[in-house]
Chains A and B, each alone.
Chain A
C-alpha cells in the first residue's frame, strides 16, 4: 500500500441497497475525511475523524455513517442509498497536528458511485 487507497474504484448500486466505501492509509496520519464532489459544486465534507476512536459530522452527513476503529481505516457507509447520493467520493488524510503548520490534506483516488 502506498499512501491512500479507496475501494471500489466505481460502483453502480440499486436504490435502497446498503454500501460501504473503504479507505485505507499507510501514512500514519491522525485525521481522515470523507468528501463528495458533484459537478459545479466544491468538495463537501461528509464526516471526519481527528483521531482513531473519534468521528464528527461535516457539512452533508445525512444518509452516511462512519467509524474509525484504528488509525489506518475509515469506512463510509450508506445505509440505504438514494439517487441523490450519486457522486464521486474522496477520502483524504492529514497529520492532524494543529501546530501552526499547513496540516495539508492528501486525497485518495476516489470512488465513483452511481445510485439508480
Chain B
C-alpha cells in the first residue's frame, strides 16, 4: 500500500529552527508537496520538490531524496504565527496526491 509518515506533533521555541521529516512509500513518484494548515483553515501551498536537493524560499526550505523516499521541511527563525500543521503529500503514478496525516507544530515563546 501507499504510505506517508510524518511525526504527529513537534514543539519548538520562537526564533529557533525546526526540521519536520516525511518518509514515503508510494506507487510511483511525480513530486512532493508541503502545505501549511492553521487550525480551522484550509491547507495552503508551501513548497514543491521533484528533483533531489534543497529548495529554499525565505524562512522555509524543503529537501528531497528520492532514493531514500525522504523529505524534510526546515523552518528558520520561528515565529508564533508558524504554529500550524504541516502536511506532506506525494503525487503518485496515477497523478493523485497521497497525504500524510500532518505534523502539528507548537511554537513556545
Q: Which residues of A contact B (CB under 8 A)?
A: 40-45, 48, 58-59, 90, 98, 102, 104-110
Can you list 11 A-B pairs, Cβ within 8 angstroms, ordered by A?
A42-B98, A42-B100, A42-B102, A45-B96, A45-B97, A98-B95, A102-B33, A104-B33, A105-B45, A106-B45, A107-B43
Q: How far is the CA of A105 from the CA of B44 in the complex (A)?
A: 9
Whether A110 contacts B42 in the complex (CB less than 8 A), given A43-B87, A102-B31, A104-B33, comes out as yes
**8 A Cβ contacts from B74-109 to A:** 87, 89, 95-102
Q: How far is the CA of A84 from the CA of B79 in the complex (A)?
A: 37
Residues of B within 8 Å of A42, CB to CB, are 4, 87, 89, 98-102
Task: Report the count of interface residues on B (CB-CB < 8 A).
Answer: 20
Q: How far is the CA of A21 from the CA of B95 in the complex (A)?
A: 25
How many A-B pairs fall under 8 Å by CB? Answer: 43
Q: How far is the CA of A102 from the CA of B102 in the complex (A)?
A: 20
Interface of A is mostly: loop
**8 A Cβ contacts from B16-73 to A:** 31, 33, 41-45, 48, 50
Residues of A within 8 Å of B97, CB to CB, are 43, 45, 105
A58 contacts B101, C-beta separation under 8 Å = no
A107 contacts B101, C-beta separation under 8 Å = no
CB distance from B58 to the nearest CB of A (A): 17
